[in-house]
Chain A
């Protein structure tokens, strides 16, 4: 049973169909890629999964429960976390406080038995994701690549079972991306489900076991990294049909 399943998700903005009959699944303990050209609907799909965007039709199943009608915070409390492509950091807090407040929010809703020691956990996560050098800076002052890592760290603070990452590596240097890929594999190894939207194909190919490809709101391919890489429809979607390139 997959950790997360979307079944026939459709989202319509006025006359535009942003997502059309999209069904994907994400397994626990693995990294699933979600790729596609700009405007393919990847972020919209994340928004529907987290509940920020109501869907026109379709279903979202998380942890064997239909969460289609649940508000965002309820879904999070079931173990779903995410990062944002357009950064949604708490801009008036420091890096450390951005991460710490996530733990504090979590302690407000978690069961009494599973309350965490927020300060200790903050320190652990900061060193885990490698933010120690910027931990006490203002979050507005650090480079975008680092800021995306802060988003990940914040998401990890709620101890999720599934985390949706929206272009976490853009703005990162090649070296940082390498470390980041290793981090994702480690996290998946510990049992975390990860769904990754990313344009950096080397990272995607390196860490994802399964990949779903979206184009113009439709799913055009889905399968193992190898099969997707060689799928002619996918290549067309990215590069355009051969004659139009010609």
Chain B
């Protein structure tokens, strides 16, 4: 009984804190229509800042609280809205999700930058009123911190409810989501209201973080704290992102269940702590499964800003061949470490291909690509290796089996996708990813089911050898590089073929307008299942290649944050293109790695400037997230910009010859070791990016000479006289040719026309 009460009270307090975080999510979602994935990261940042003030600099608690909760957290929320989220109106749900994930990863990188996690003293966080302040209820001792958490949660619940239902600005806030333009016409200011709600949401996140951290009692860790608040996602979903009372209930149920698991599961069940940790994710997945079906919608935004042009099959072959040649040429001049980095980048690019297929082609979302990789790696480890020691090789059959198993798991994850889209699906896949990280990849002990003994992830390390396929051994670095490049090219070209097939068109139809597809008789079940399975299999194969490149992988290699970063960078690269996946792999692995190495080399070479270069090295950790956040400005992705530049090159023979000639010269100089690889990298960048831009400008200027500058339509008649051609052009633009402007008599004849 004593235990029961003790844990119930703990559960209630934890539930209170979950609720506070979840209510912040509900508030921002209902007013801005953006689900804030960064909620956990904001909480985490607040905890670290509070720690800095309170224990780092020894401020008194009220001052530190005022600073964090009263000023910094709301300010962060408001700034995030003003700078980032405001620009997201009219973008697709994928872009919204990715940008808010970018913010999350950015804040996390920032925290690890400022508060170095490898510092010698673990940062401890104490309960309010100290660790020994207890209230006594009979024989029961309850820490004051716990009591306060629960009271604050209830106060917040009542407060928000009052705000939304009773006050004018609360009602206006709810109106923002329904129809911002209508609200504006009625004198409301949607932008300002949304900004206020983001400030409030950020405040609630910070509050939740500061309340939760002492309850877990362990040292502070950026990743763990961020994920802890993700547990609150389940509570928010319980209320379907609308109902606060239901959110409260959900938070309590989740928190109480987890604490009871700790209290009552026998200690010999070694998996109970993993189970406890993954419970919120299991809840989240189940809630999403039983959510009622989305109403079939069409494209809710009339014209999305995203635009993807489909390459022809011929272009795909040319691109594939070019890529093989480029990889081969690089292999010749590169050092062994370079080959390794490039191979790793290509394996990530293969995993990213699974995202292009799923999101770019079919409009579905998967935020846990690497978790599929993890499953495939486990399959290969257990069933796909022949030989031992240095003779060990991954077999073709092992890889195929891994692909089949991941495809089946993919089908399982597609279950919520059959009925849900967008955000809900993103959350379901994320729940799956966190579940795999917390429950499966932590399985170090031997289990026995039906007499079958196995250990999923023994010693936390899995050694995956390079593959041997038929007579060809890919154990060597160069051979394996070519295998990965070949695999990428084959899958990529296959995807372009797929996109041009009837199946690909049906996928596009499903993505572009589910409503229209349904009224053409399409049943999405098989289509969605098959695309999820295919995508999962590709992610699985990529994961195996990645593990084979690394050699020995631990669970960190399949971290959910890495999956999120990969998804984000693929969207940045251009989720609709095969080349977007290549961009993701190269950028996330090779480019960041190269940048790091270069800065480190500079730091050594120019030791007087070491501090500056060390600063840049830290800044590089924030770089991917920063780029993710800029997605709001260019939703079609970076590759489309690069492609635009390349098109200029393609249209102009002299420019093309110049670029290819220069590149060949640079390569030759490197191959003959006249210049170093660093020069090669820098010169190549300059050649491929700067020459087309400068050359394009030059050619454009030459072509434009003698052509009069076009006058913008609103200045016709002012800057120059109005001509008949202008009139014709306008008629055509408005689709009015041949329209006779109705006179009053025709109107009277047809009264219906007047009201139409």
B506 within 8 A of A: yes
Across the interface, do B506 and A108 meet the contact criterion of CB distance under 8 Å? yes
Across the interface, do B509 and A93 meet the contact criterion of CB distance under 8 Å? yes
Q: Mark A123-152, 1 if CB is under 8 A from B, else 0.
A: 000000000000000001001110000000
- In the complex, which residues of chain B have a beta carbon less than 8 angstroms from the beta carbon of A157? 520
For window 93-122 of A, CB contacts with B under 8 Å fall at 93, 97, 100-102, 104-109, 118
Partner of A89 from the list B516, B518, B739 (CB cut-off 8 Å) is: B516
Partner of A173 from the list B509, B511, B738, B754 (CB cut-off 8 Å) is: B738
- In the complex, which residues of chain A have a beta carbon less than 8 angstroms from the beta carbon of B511? 92
- In the complex, which residues of chain A have a beta carbon less than 8 angstroms from the beta carbon of B307? 92
- In the complex, which residues of chain A have a beta carbon less than 8 angstroms from the beta carbon of B516? 84, 88-90, 154
Across the interface, do B505 and A93 meet the contact criterion of CB distance under 8 Å? yes
- In the complex, which residues of chain A have a beta carbon less than 8 angstroms from the beta carbon of B752? 35, 199, 201, 204, 238
A57 within 8 A of B: no
Between B308, B736, B754, B756, the greatest number of chain A beta carbons within 10 A of the residue's beta carbon is seen for B756
B268 within 8 A of A: no
For window 45-66 of A, CB contacts with B under 8 Å fall at 50-53
Across the interface, do A73 and B735 meet the contact criterion of CB distance under 8 Å? no
Across the interface, do A104 and B755 meet the contact criterion of CB distance under 8 Å? no
Nearest CB to that of A81 among chain B residues? B519
A235 within 8 A of B: yes
In the bound assembly, the distance between CA atoms of A118 and B506 in angstroms comes to 13
B751 within 8 A of A: yes
In the bound assembly, the distance between CA atoms of A193 and B308 in angstroms comes to 38
B266 within 8 A of A: no
Given A90-B513, A101-B506, A201-B752: A173 and B739 interface contact (C-beta under 8 Å): yes
Q: Mark B713-756, 1 if CB is under 8 A from A, else 0.
A: 00000000000000000000001111110000000001111111
In the bound assembly, the distance between CA atoms of A29 and B308 in angstroms comes to 41
Given A84-B298, A171-B735, A174-B740: A92 and B308 interface contact (C-beta under 8 Å): yes
A69 within 8 A of B: no
The smallest beta-carbon distance between B684 and chain A, in angstroms, is: 33
Nearest CB to that of A234 among chain B residues? B752
Across the interface, do A175 and B738 meet the contact criterion of CB distance under 8 Å? yes
B270 within 8 A of A: no
Across the interface, do B296 and A52 meet the contact criterion of CB distance under 8 Å? yes
Between B299, B303, B518, the greatest number of chain A beta carbons within 10 A of the residue's beta carbon is seen for B518
B302 within 8 A of A: yes
Across the interface, do A100 and B756 meet the contact criterion of CB distance under 8 Å? no
Across the interface, do B520 and A52 meet the contact criterion of CB distance under 8 Å? no
B310 within 8 A of A: yes
Partner of B505 from the list A104, A106, A109 (CB cut-off 8 Å) is: A104
A34 within 8 A of B: no
Given A97-B505, A174-B740, A201-B752: A77 and B521 interface contact (C-beta under 8 Å): yes
B517 within 8 A of A: yes
Across the interface, do B735 and A144 meet the contact criterion of CB distance under 8 Å? yes
Across the interface, do B521 and A52 meet the contact criterion of CB distance under 8 Å? no
The smallest beta-carbon distance between B25 and chain A, in angstroms, is: 24
- In the complex, which residues of chain B have a beta carbon less than 8 angstroms from the beta carbon of A171? 735
- In the complex, which residues of chain B have a beta carbon less than 8 angstroms from the beta carbon of A201? 750-753, 756
Between A35, A37, A88, A105, the greatest number of chain B beta carbons within 10 A of the residue's beta carbon is seen for A105
The smallest beta-carbon distance between A110 and chain B, in angstroms, is: 8
For window 213-246 of A, CB contacts with B under 8 Å fall at 235, 238-239
In the bound assembly, the distance between CA atoms of A89 and B508 in angstroms comes to 11
Given A92-B308, A143-B735, A200-B756: A73 and B518 interface contact (C-beta under 8 Å): yes
- In the complex, which residues of chain A have a beta carbon less than 8 angstroms from the beta carbon of B304? 91
B313 within 8 A of A: no
B295 within 8 A of A: yes
Across the interface, do A239 and B755 meet the contact criterion of CB distance under 8 Å? yes
A210 within 8 A of B: no
In the bound assembly, the distance between CA atoms of A107 and B502 in angstroms comes to 10
Across the interface, do A173 and B736 meet the contact criterion of CB distance under 8 Å? yes
Across the interface, do B738 and A105 meet the contact criterion of CB distance under 8 Å? no
- In the complex, which residues of chain B have a beta carbon less than 8 angstroms from the beta carbon of A155? 519-520
Across the interface, do B298 and A174 meet the contact criterion of CB distance under 8 Å? no
Across the interface, do B515 and A88 meet the contact criterion of CB distance under 8 Å? yes
- In the complex, which residues of chain B have a beta carbon less than 8 angstroms from the beta carbon of A101? 502, 505-506, 508-509
For window 486-535 of B, CB contacts with A under 8 Å fall at 502, 505-506, 508-509, 511-513, 515-523
For window 5-59 of A, CB contacts with B under 8 Å fall at 35, 37-38, 50-53
Nearest CB to that of B733 among chain A residues? A143
Partner of B518 from the list A71, A118, A175, A204 (CB cut-off 8 Å) is: A71
In the bound assembly, the distance between CA atoms of A175 and B307 in angstroms comes to 33
Given A239-B751, A239-B755: A52 and B508 interface contact (C-beta under 8 Å): no
Nearest CB to that of A146 among chain B residues? B735
Across the interface, do B522 and A73 meet the contact criterion of CB distance under 8 Å? yes
In the bound assembly, the distance between CA atoms of A80 and B521 in angstroms comes to 9
In the bound assembly, the distance between CA atoms of A201 and B752 in angstroms comes to 6
- In the complex, which residues of chain B have a beta carbon less than 8 angstroms from the beta carbon of A181? none
In the bound assembly, the distance between CA atoms of A171 and B304 in angstroms comes to 21
A158 within 8 A of B: yes
The smallest beta-carbon distance between A104 and chain B, in angstroms, is: 4
- In the complex, which residues of chain A have a beta carbon less than 8 angstroms from the beta carbon of B756? 38, 199-201
Partner of B521 from the list A38, A144, A158 (CB cut-off 8 Å) is: A158
In the bound assembly, the distance between CA atoms of A1 and B273 in angstroms comes to 67
- In the complex, which residues of chain B have a beta carbon less than 8 angstroms from the beta carbon of A89? 512-513, 516
Nearest CB to that of A72 among chain B residues? B518
Partner of B751 from the list A77, A84, A118, A235 (CB cut-off 8 Å) is: A235
In the bound assembly, the distance between CA atoms of A220 and B750 in angstroms comes to 19
For window 340-375 of B, CB contacts with A under 8 Å fall at none
Given A90-B508, A90-B513, A202-B750: A108 and B522 interface contact (C-beta under 8 Å): yes
Given A84-B516, A202-B750: A140 and B303 interface contact (C-beta under 8 Å): yes
- In the complex, which residues of chain A have a beta carbon less than 8 angstroms from the beta carbon of B508? 90, 92-93, 101
Across the interface, do A105 and B308 meet the contact criterion of CB distance under 8 Å? no
- In the complex, which residues of chain A have a beta carbon less than 8 angstroms from the beta carbon of B750? 201-202
Nearest CB to that of B755 among chain A residues? A238
Q: 30 A-B residue contacts at CB 8 Å? A: A38-B756, A51-B518, A52-B296, A52-B515, A71-B518, A72-B296, A73-B521, A80-B519, A88-B298, A88-B299, A89-B516, A91-B303, A93-B508, A101-B506, A104-B506, A109-B521, A143-B735, A144-B735, A154-B516, A157-B520, A171-B735, A173-B735, A173-B737, A174-B739, A175-B738, A199-B756, A200-B756, A201-B751, A238-B752, A239-B755
Give 18 A-B pairs besides A73-B522, A171-B735 with Cβ atoms closer than 8 angstroms.
Answer: A52-B295, A76-B520, A77-B521, A82-B519, A84-B515, A88-B516, A90-B516, A91-B303, A92-B511, A93-B505, A102-B520, A104-B505, A108-B522, A118-B502, A158-B520, A173-B736, A174-B739, A200-B756
Kindly list the 4 A-B residue pairs having the minimum CB-CB distance in the complex, ordered from nearest.
Answer: A199-B756, A76-B521, A201-B752, A88-B516
